[in-house]
Structure 1
Amino acid sequence: MAISTTSIIFPIIVFMLLSTTIPTQASGSCSGNSNATDLMVEACKNASINSYVKTVPEEFCLSTLQSDIQSIKAKDLHDLVFIAMDITKGRLNSARAMVKKMLQNAKKGTVRMRVLRFCEVDYEEMASILNICDAMIRNYQGYTGNMRFEELASCVFDAYHPAGACEDELQDMPEEAALFQENTELLMLVRMGSNFLVPMAVP
């Protein structure tokens, strides 16, 4: 089977974009961001080793938390989960705005229009799921209640599926590399949120 030039070039473009936009960790802090606390370092270390579904790069996890000043005020893992959820929802809103802007310039009846419309629907579903999960996490009472951490982690991971569907649509759209990158980071954010919930299994 012949491999198209597009299918080879597209992953290269995405890799280059990710390598230039995901900041590296140096001495526990990033330029312009808050310092990493022991809680943040421990949470990200666990998320990069132990996972509910897939691990998350520790550098990505730390730089993500450091991008929000509220992270240094987190008292426990529960606080970090809320912060991670807020960051994920914020990035999702950015992706939705990106799609909306792209749709304004997309011609009707084209593959680009179809792909963007599907991603638009996927992001709407993702937003609904995250809102439901956020409410569940806020009502979580640990082992004194009926809900278990597995249900919370599963709820957050449900948001992975619509983002994954959008990713599948974007595979053959190299001209949408910026949106593909944004979607890739959304997938990692969902994994990060799910993995943060795993240590909460300890009573």
Structure 2
Amino acid sequence: IRMYIASIHPSLQYTPFSFYLSPLISHISQHFSTSRFLAIPVVIATMPRTTIIFSTILFMLLAVVITAQSSSSASGKPKATKLMVEACKNALINYPYGDPFSQEFCLSTLQSDNQSAEAKDLRALVLVAIDILKSHVTAAGGKIKKMLQDAKKGTVMMPVLSFCEVDYDHVVRRLNVCQGLIRDYQGDKSGRQPLRLTHCVEMSFTPLNKCSIGLEDMPGVEVLSKENVELQFMVQVNTGLLASYDVHD
């Protein structure tokens, strides 16, 4: 370690080890009870140099782990549970129209809501996924309303945004209906044709796509266009999750 320190600057090789340990101990003490580290200076003073070096390495590793955990907590995203991973994997397999979205996008979508980590079964996870989609559509619809207020009358943008506003409102209403149907669905226990849950959410794709076509090549709506594409991917994720739910039930 002294050789490494000396390689940075020769004068540093004569600096006491405590100089390097002090900031590290200070960092660790912020995460743990101070009483656990009161004896550290005394212990270090009585340790052989080899033990001190080994202890220093351990402290450094511990600091790295603590920093990583702090960064993970700061991100605010829940860890992907086994249920989430399996659900996304099956959503890709059971999606009826090929493989348009990635498993990473599916997981990232679910991780955007902490309720996903609390879901106990696939139906609960599906309901959270629809909530996520609905909240994003609602937020995008709010932006459209704001753009309509700022848009000048008689411009090409006015009718396009107006149609998109209607389309987004339609999607939110449909998703509310779909959630109610999913909550009431108990599987095919009567021998009748199973409820087409997948089709209910899947139909949200069409109005979003219509809006997307209207936004093509229109200046000043690039952010809205990008969000629209992401919403279409989210509809596909929800469709795949529901297709898996139909398969299992």
Name the TM-score class by shorter chain.
0.7 to 0.9
**Gap change, CA 1:174 and 1:148, over 3 Å in 2:** farther
Which residue in the other structure is 1:67 paired with? Answer: 112
The structure with the largest alpha-carbon Rg is 2
Q: Is the 8 A contact 1:170 1:180 kept in 2?
A: yes
Structure 1 counterpart of 2:88, from 44, 48, 51: 44
Which residue in the other structure is 1:34 paired with? Answer: 78
Quick check: 1:132 aligned with 2:132? Answer: no
Which residue in the other structure is 2:167 paired with? Answer: 122
Q: Is the 8 A contact 1:129 1:159 kept in 2?
A: yes
Q: Is the 8 A contact 1:52 1:153 kept in 2?
A: no
CA distance in 2, matches of 1:49, 1:136: 24
Q: Is the 8 A contact 1:35 1:72 kept in 2?
A: yes
Quick check: 1:94 aligned with 2:94? Answer: no
Quick check: 1:183 aligned with 2:228? Answer: yes
RMSD: 1.7
Cα deviation per residue 1:39-97 (whole Å; 9 max; x = unaligned)?
10111112233313343211111111111111111111101100001001100110110
Which residue in the other structure is 1:198 paired with? Answer: 243
CA distance in 2, matches of 1:199, 1:44: 9
Q: Is the 8 A contact 2:151 2:158 kept in 1?
A: yes
Q: Is the 8 A contact 1:36 1:66 kept in 2?
A: yes
CA distance in 1, matches of 2:102, 2:76: 21
Q: Is the 8 A contact 1:99 1:120 kept in 2?
A: yes
Task: Measure how far apart 1:199 and its partner are.
Answer: 2.0
Q: Is the 8 A contact 1:48 1:57 kept in 2?
A: yes
What is the TM-score with the length of structure 1 in the denominator? 0.80
Which residue in the other structure is 2:189 paired with? Answer: 144
Structure 1 counterpart of 2:130, from 85, 90, 102: 85
Runs of 4+ in 1 over 6 A off after TM superposition: none
The total of aligned residue pairs comes to: 174
Higher RCO (CA 8 Å, separation ≥ 6 residues): 1
CA distance in 2, matches of 1:72, 1:202: 20
Quick check: 1:53 aligned with 2:97? Answer: yes
Q: Is the 8 A contact 1:35 1:66 kept in 2?
A: yes
CA distance in 2, matches of 1:170, 1:54: 25
Gaps of 5+ in 2: 1-71
What is the TM-score with the length of structure 2 in the denominator? 0.66
Q: Secondary structure at the match of 2:153?
A: coil
CA distance in 2, matches of 1:171, 1:183: 11
Matched letter for residue 186 of structure 2: Q
Q: Secondary structure at the match of 2:225?
A: helix
Structure 2 counterpart of 1:160, from 184, 199, 205: 205
